[in-house]
Amino acid sequence: MGFEYIKALHIIFVVTWFAGLFYIVRLFIYQTEALEKPEAERKILKPQLDLMANRLWYIITWPSAVLTLIFGIWVLTYRWGYMQLGFMHAKLAFVLLLYVYHGFSHVLYKELQRGKARWTSTQLRLWNEVATLLLFAIVFLIVLKSTLSMVWGIVGLVGLGVFLMLGIKIYKKYRKD
């Protein structure tokens, strides 16, 4: 299989993985809020949300994470020289953090499937933004291929993080009104 096909498949699975990560945490929020509903509503919502989360997690998100890793390593074998460059070390560090994020999300998934909500819906909204920050870091590093640009990127990420937190606070206030 040619390099461009492998690279395309890697990108496709990165996209589906992120789609799964973004939506699973949204389902976590709904599951958490459903646990706070009266018994009659909870009996209807919880099984449906659990089913949706289960299908998303095991049919889309986990396979996409695995295939991203497989095709990513395969792409790297064609571009092994990149391993000598600082931007690739930084990018791979962020990718490792993304897999840690995925693993911790799996813990949250298992807890919510058992009906245990350790985090509030607001905390989960903030957790969802961690994936956004990692996405920005990884994409900018791989596109710009520069650790110097990474410094400006980190400044931008911090700014983006502040912007996202303000957005969540505004949304929370708007939702209460």
Nearest to 123 by CA among 163, 165, 93, 89: 165
List the end-to-end C-alpha distance of the chain, in Å, as a whole number.
56
One-letter amino acid identity for 2? G
Nearest to 66 by CA among 26, 103, 25: 103
Residue 111 exposed, middle or buried by CB count within 10 Å (0-12, 13-18, 19+): middle
- Measure Cα distances from 58 to 8, 62, 92, 123, 126 in Å: 23, 5, 24, 24, 23
| Residue 91 assigned as binding residue | yes
Instruction: Check: CB of residue 130 under 8 Å from CB of residue 38.
Output: no
Measured distance CA(104)–CA(121) in Å, rounded: 16
Measured distance CA(90)–CA(86) in Å, rounded: 6
Binding-site entries = 10, 91
- Binding-site residues for heme sit at 10, 91
